[in-house]
Amino acid sequence: MKTRIALTAFLLCGSIAFLSISWKPTAPTPAKAAVIHHYLYVATPGIRDYLGYGGHGLLVFDMDHGHRFVKRITTQGYHPNKKPSNVKGIAVSIPLNSVYISTIESVQRIDLTSGKLIWEKAIDKGADRLSVAPDGMTMYVPSFENNIWNVMDCKTGEIIKKIEGFNKSHNTIYSPTGEHVYLADLKNPVLKIANTKTNTIEKTVGPFFSNIRPFTINGKETRCYINTDSLLGFEVGDIKSGKKIAHIVVEGWDKGPVRRHGDPAHGIGLTPDEKEIWLCDGYNMRLHIFKNDDTYQQLTTIPLQDMPGWITFSMDGKYAYPSSGEVIDVKTRRILTTLKDEHYNSVASEKVVEVDFEGNKAVKAGDQFGIGRVR
């Protein structure tokens, strides 16, 4: 009996000793890092209403896998004759998980997860290149080359206010802070800036060489970079002083007739790090690249497959997207691929934007303009 009790005590002590030696508190499992997927959204017809550049719809490309085609989202936007209308702009609201497409006649809101149309609003006097506020709740929509800008509610599409006093309202950039909106009038050499608290014009920059066409701004909103009528080159404005400070002409290339837009240089963008300016040359079918400092040194040129009329970049600055359909490595200047649809037809558009997803929810979006991102 004593022997059995002693043996039991020995085994019990041994088990306790083993457990005390082998057991250690388990460290908490670290949370998995979010996996972000990057997609390029391309609205077509994004070159006039020509269906030969990708048909009609919102085409999605996988930026993480060679920009391969993912899907085509069905869109609205038709002329009165029922043919697809010119897409004039594209922008995203992250809080509302929506992408907005303007055409000559209307604005439509599409859910980014389901791809379903939420609403389409016909716009009196038409619509041009819209821009959505950073908070995703308000957008500025220019009438189609008319005399007003509509301030609209992103959720409902209702018009909050009409801002009058323009000749041919056209291109729109919401500031990174959301405090200002930059408004370029096709028939005006002066860039107007609206205060978003009052929705009134607060100041101007210019006058520039001629009427303003595409333009962009840096992240700190101290500089604007302007295409104008008749200029194969660009001009620079000081936003703080309101004055033009530079006039740059492309060296070594002649001006000539262009198939669209009527201007030798239509399309300008800053790389996101703001070190370079990329300029579209329609006649010579090229991109010209300049250093973004006080010298504005002309660095190189890149030949393209078709006439470019627009340029923008991925948010990380890795890729450049001219409207002619190429995907360009910004660092090496090398053309990596060209966009192709589900039928392997070439896709080209002046209305493209990056949208990043975590799972099936959009978490971040770029801009259709090549705006600077140094803040």
The per-residue DSSP string of 109-161 comes to EEETTT--EEEEEE-TT-----EE-TTSSEEEEE-TTSSEEEEEETTT--EEE
Beta pairing, strands 36-44 & 352-358 = antiparallel
Peptide bond into 207 cis (omega under 30): yes
Report the residue count for the chain: 375
pLDDT at residue 275, as a whole number: 98
297 has pLDDT over 90: yes
Beta pairing, strands 191-195 & 319-322 = unpaired
299 has pLDDT over 90: yes
pLDDT at residue 33, as a whole number: 75
300 has pLDDT over 50: yes
Percentage of residues of the chain with pLDDT beyond 70: 91
Instruction: Decide: 284 and 256 in contact? Cβ < 8 Å.
Output: yes
Stretch 217-232: mean pLDDT: 98
- What amino acid is encoded at 185 in this protein? D
* pLDDT band for position 34 (cuts 50, 70, 90): confident
- What amino acid is encoded at 266 in this protein? H
Phi/psi of residue 280, nearest 5 degrees: -85, 140
The helix/strand/coil state of 298 is strand
Closest Cα partner for 319 from 295, 335, 308? 335
CA 182/CA 131 separation, integer angstroms:
10
Distance, first Cα to last Cα, the chain? 84
Q: Is the pTM of this model over 0.75?
A: yes
CA 342/CA 92 separation, integer angstroms:
24
Q: Edge-to-edge, what's the strand order for the sheet holding 298-303?
A: 268-270, 276-281, 286-291, 298-303
18 has pLDDT over 60: no
Query: Of 1-15, 68-82, 87-101, which range is least confident?
Result: 1-15
The helix/strand/coil state of 11 is helix
Q: Using one digit for the tens of pLDDT, what is the confidence trace for 76-120?
A: 999 999 999 999 999 999 999 999 999 999 999 999 999 999 999
pLDDT at residue 203, as a whole number: 97
CA 237/CA 207 separation, integer angstroms:
9
* pLDDT band for position 4 (cuts 50, 70, 90): very low
347 has pLDDT over 60: yes
Domains defined for the chain, CATH in brackets: 35-252+350-365 (2.130.10.10)
Q: Answer with the residue of higher pLDDT: 58 or 6.
A: 58
